[in-house]
Amino acid sequence: MATTLSSVAEICLSARQASRQLAVSDTATKNAALTAIADALSERGEEILRANELDMQAGREAQLSDALLDRLLLDEERILQIAGAVRQIVALPDPVGEVLDGHRLPNGLDIRKVRVPLGVIAVVYEARPNVTVDAAALCLKSGNAIVLRGSTIAAHSNAALAAIASDAAVQAGLPAGCVGLIAGGGREELAELATQKETVDLIIPRGGEGLKAALEEVACVPVIYAASGNCHVYVDAAAELEKARKIVLNAKTQRPGVCNAAETLLVHTDVASPLLARLLPELHAAGVELRVDERARAAYADGGGGGLPLTDATAEDWSTEYLAMTLAVGVVDSVGHAIEHIGRYGSGHSEAIVTTDTNAARAFQLGVDAACVYVNASTRFTDGGEFGMGAEIGNSTQKLHARGPIGLRELCTFKYLVEGDGQVRT
Amino acid sequence: MATTLSSVAEICLSARQASRQLAVSDTATKNAALTAIADALSERGEEILRANELDMQAGREAQLSDALLDRLLLDEERILQIAGAVRQIVALPDPVGEVLDGHRLPNGLDIRKVRVPLGVIAVVYEARPNVTVDAAALCLKSGNAIVLRGSTIAAHSNAALAAIASDAAVQAGLPAGCVGLIAGGGREELAELATQKETVDLIIPRGGEGLKAALEEVACVPVIYAASGNCHVYVDAAAELEKARKIVLNAKTQRPGVCNAAETLLVHTDVASPLLARLLPELHAAGVELRVDERARAAYADGGGGGLPLTDATAEDWSTEYLAMTLAVGVVDSVGHAIEHIGRYGSGHSEAIVTTDTNAARAFQLGVDAACVYVNASTRFTDGGEFGMGAEIGNSTQKLHARGPIGLRELCTFKYLVEGDGQVRT
C-alpha cells in the first residue's frame, strides 16, 4: 500500500517532510520517477482492474447512473491512456529553477527571482480515478508532494493507483510520503484537510459547486477554485458572419459539457437579422435548445426566420452555465453593451468577440475582465494543452496566483535569491 | 467628503463599479490623479492637521502610549513626506499592459499573457494615517480601486486624507468610488468586508497577528497576509568572519523593530569560538540581549570570552520574532543542520548564509524555503524599494501570488488575449 498512515494530519505531515527533498530533486530524478510510474501502471494492470471491479460492483449496487459508472470504469485501454499521459508530462520542461527576473542592485547585490515548488498540494476530486495519477504526475514533476482525496465511490481504484504511483516513485528515488492518499471521502476528512495550514500549501478542488461551497466554509489553507464557466460569444456589427457562425457553432456544440463551452450568444443589432436567420436553425438542427430575448426573436423573424421552437430567456438564463445543449441569445446595441452584459453575468472564464473592427476588438480586450479573451476564435481553446502549457490540473477563474489553465508553472511559487560580498543596509 | 455611502457593501460595490473604468484608464490619467493628490495634500494641509488634532486629543484622553501617539501624529513635515511618497509612485512604471509571455500556436492563434489590475483591493491597517494615502496611490497607479479600513483611533485623520485623495482623483478624471473609506473600525465592519467576495478581489491586512487571526476566521475573500519575520543569519564554517560580524550586527541592530531584522544567529561549530568571542560583546555593547544555547555558551568561553550576561535560550526563543534588541544564538554542525533549524522555526521571510564555500551557498539557496534567501548579505534588504520595485504595500510570507515585497506588479493579475481569424477547435 501507498501508506499505512491513518490520520489526515499524519498524511499531510509526511508529505511536508517529503516536499523538502522533492524541492531539491533534479529533473532527471523526477522524470525517472514518472517513467517508473508509467511502467508500473502497465505491470500492475491486473491489480488496478481488480480494485476497479470492486468499485464498479458497489456502484452498480448503489444504482449509480450509466454516465457516472462510465467515468468510474477502468479497462486496459484506459490504463494505457493514463500511462501515456504520464509519459507526456515527462516530456514537458521542468518549471523549477527557471529565472523569472533578475538584475544587479546599485549596491552590487545580484538579485534573481527563481521558480520553486509550492511544497505540498492537496487535490480534491470526484469520480474519475485517472485524476489520481494525472495529478500526482503533475505535482511530482513540479517538485511538489501531493495529498490526494478522491471520492468514496472510487476508493478501491484510487487506492490501487496511488499505491502504484507511490511505490514506483519511491523506488525511483523520490522520498516516501511524496504521494499521499486520504482514504476516507467524508466531509470530516475534507474539513480536516482544509485546515492543515502548517503542512499544506494549496488545495485544488476539481469538482462542482457543492465541493466549492463545502470548502469555502471551512478552508484556511489557500484554495484555487476551478470554478464555472459562463462563457459568451459576442458577434459585433463588423463581424464576418460566416466566421461568426462557425465560431458560435463550435463554442456551443463541439463539447457542451465543459467549462469553456459558450452559454450565451450576444449579437449586435445591426447584424442580428441576417445572422440569426441563418444560425438559429443550424443550432437547432445540431440539437441546441434556444432561449432568446425579445429583440433576438424579432430579429430572427425580420430576417425571414420562423418555425423554430424558441423559448423566452429569463434573467436566470443569463447567469446559467448550462453545460448542456442550451444557448441563451440576446441582442445588444454596441460592444459597450456586450461588455456590460458580460461584466454582469460572466464568470470570468473565456469570452469571445467576432469582429473585423479594431476599435471593437480593442474595447472588448480591455473591457472584459476574464481569464481568456478571444478575438475571432472559439472559446473552446482555453486549455493548458491548447495553450502550449502541456497538461493542466484545472482552470482557474480566480485572479490570484493562477488565472486560466493551471499547468506545471502554476503549481510553483518563486523565491528571491540575493547574492553579495558582505553588503549591509545603511 | 470622500463618500456619503454608509454600508460596507455599498462602499465595496461603488469601488467595483469604479474599478471597471480604472482598469482601462491610461497611465497619463492615473499619474495626473496622483499628482493632483500630492498637490491637494499641501493645499488642504490645515484640514488634515485639524482632523489629526481631534484624533491626538482623543488618543491622549485614552492614554495611548507615547509610541502610538507618535505614530498617529501628523505635522507639516509629515504631510510633505506623504505627498513626496505619492510623487515617487508617479515616477514608477505602470505595471498594467505589460506582456508577460506570448507566442503563436500551431493553428495560427496568437496568444499573449498581459498584466491587468486585480480590480478592487481592500487594505486594512492600524494606527499610521499615512497608509491611507500610500495605499491609495499604489492601488490607483496599478489601476485598482481601493477600499480602506483604518483603525478607530485615526478615524478623523484617515477620513480627511481619504476625502482629499478621492476628491483630487475624481477631479483629475478617475471615477467616483475609486477611493472608498469604511468609517467604522469595529470587528463587525471587518467581518462584513472580509465576505464581500462579489465585489472585493483581495484584502491586504497590514497589522499584527491579532488582525491576522481575526481575518482568518471570517475571510472568504482572498487575503495576502504580510506576516511575521523570524529571520536567521547562519555563519558557515567557510565564512569570512569580518563580513559575518558586520552582517549580523546590521541584520540585528540597524532597525530591530521591522520584519526583515534577524532574530536568531546560527554559527557553525568550527568558527563558533572565534566569532562569538568577538561578536557577542559587540552585540551586547549595541544593547542586544543575548539568549544562547549550551554550545554557544561553551564556544564563547572557549574563545576566551566571559563576563557577558547570557541567558539560556529555550525552545520558545527559536520561534520568537522579538522585533526588539534580543537575539537567540545557537551552534550547529553543518549547513544541513542550519537548513533544518530554519525549516522548523523560520517564518519563510528572509534568511542569510555567510560563507565563501559555493557548495554551502548552493545548499542553502536550494534548501531554505523562504521568500528571500541571501548569500553574504544582510537580511535587511528585503524591501520593495531596495529590490528596485519602487514602493511596496507590505511583505508577503505566503507562497501564492505574491511572495516577498508587494509592489505595483503584485497588485495586478493577468489575462490571456487570444487573437485569430476564425479558428475553431476540432
Q: pLDDT grade, residue A195 (50/70/90)?
A: very high
Mean pLDDT of A61-75: 94
Q: Which residues contact A169 (CB under 8 A, 6 or more apart)?
A: A33, A36, A37, A136, A140, A178, A179
pLDDT 10s digits, B281-329: 999 999 999 999 999 999 999 999 889 999 999 999 999 999 999 999 9
Average pLDDT, chain B: 94
Domain B8-226+406-418 belongs in CATH node 3.40.30.10:
no
Least confident of A372-376, B163-167, B211-215, B329-333: B211-215
* Residue A1 clears pLDDT 70, i.e. is over it: no
Q: How would you classify residue A307: left for phi > 0, otherwise alpha for psi between -120 and 50, otherwise beta?
A: left
Nearest chain A residue to B385, by CA: A105
CB < 8 Å to B420, chain A:
374-377
CB < 8 Å to A220, chain B:
216
Q: Is the Cβ of B246 closer than 8 Å to some Cβ of chain A?
A: yes
Nearest to A415 among B371, B375, B419 (CB): B371
Mean pLDDT of A100-122: 97
Pairwise CB contact (< 8 Å): B119 & A423 = no
pLDDT 10s digits, B118-137: 999 999 998 789 999 999 99
Nearest chain B residue to A253, by CA: B425
pLDDT at B60: 97
B168 or B306, which is more confident: B168
Nearest chain B residue to A347, by CA: B198
CB < 8 Å to A201, chain B:
399-400
Pairwise CB contact (< 8 Å): A425 & B380 = yes
* Residue B55 clears pLDDT 50, i.e. is over it: yes
Strand boundaries in A25-73, DSSP class E: none
pLDDT at A219: 87
Residues A274 and A267: their CA atoms lie apart, in Å, by 11
CB < 8 Å to B24, chain A:
366-367
Class assignment of domain A8-226? alpha beta
pLDDT 10s digits, B251-274: 999 999 889 999 999 999 999 999
Nearest to A420 among B376, B388, B416 (CB): B376
Q: Which residues contact A380 (CB under 8 A, 6 or more apart)?
A: A250, A251, A254, A255, A258, A260, A261, B424, B425
CB < 8 Å from A in window 396-415 of B:
398-401, 403-404, 413-415
Least confident of A90-99, B3-12, B196-205: B3-12
The pLDDT > 90 percentage for chain A reads 85
Q: Which three-class secondary structure string do you get for A251-288?
A: HHHCCCCCCCCEEEEEEEHHHHHHHHHHHHHHHHHCCC
CB < 8 Å from A in window 200-229 of B:
201-202, 216, 220, 222, 224
Least confident of A126-135, A170-179, A366-375, B362-371: A126-135
Contact criterion met (CB below 8 Å) for B350 and B395:
no
Size of interface A-B (CB pairs under 8 A): 196
Q: Is the Cβ of A118 closer than 8 Å to some Cβ of chain B?
A: yes
Pairwise CB contact (< 8 Å): B403 & A423 = no
Pairwise CB contact (< 8 Å): A425 & B381 = yes
* Residue A377 clears pLDDT 70, i.e. is over it: yes
Q: pLDDT grade, residue A5 (50/70/90)?
A: low
Q: Which residues contact A350 (CB under 8 A, 6 or more apart)?
A: A229, A231, A260, A370, A371, A372, A373, A374, A379, A381, A382
**Which ipTM value was assigned to this complex?**
0.93
Pairwise CB contact (< 8 Å): B373 & A417 = yes
Contact criterion met (CB below 8 Å) for B142 and B96:
yes
Mean pLDDT of A319-340: 96
CB < 8 Å from A in window 355-394 of B:
361, 365-367, 369-378, 380-382, 386-388
pLDDT at A106: 94
Mean pLDDT of B14-37: 97
Q: pLDDT grade, residue B5 (50/70/90)?
A: low
Pairwise CB contact (< 8 Å): B414 & A403 = yes
- Sequence ranges of the domains in chain A: 8-226, 231-381
* Residue B2 clears pLDDT 60, i.e. is over it: no
Q: pLDDT grade, residue A47 (50/70/90)?
A: very high
CB < 8 Å from B in window 46-105 of A:
103, 105
Mutation choice for B interface testing from A20, A399, A408, A419 by most B CBs within 10 A: A399
Pairwise CB contact (< 8 Å): A367 & B246 = no
Mutation choice for A interface testing from B233, B357, B406, B425 by most A CBs within 10 A: B425
Mean pLDDT of A303-316: 94
Q: pLDDT grade, residue A392 (50/70/90)?
A: confident
Nearest to B399 among A201, A240, A251 (CB): A201
The dotted CATH code for A231-381 is 3.40.309.10
Q: pLDDT grade, residue B12 (50/70/90)?
A: very high
Q: Please report which helix (H) or strand (E) contains residue A364, including its range.
A: helix A358-367
Nearest to B377 among A242, A388, A423 (CB): A423
* pTM tops 0.95: no
pLDDT at A23: 95
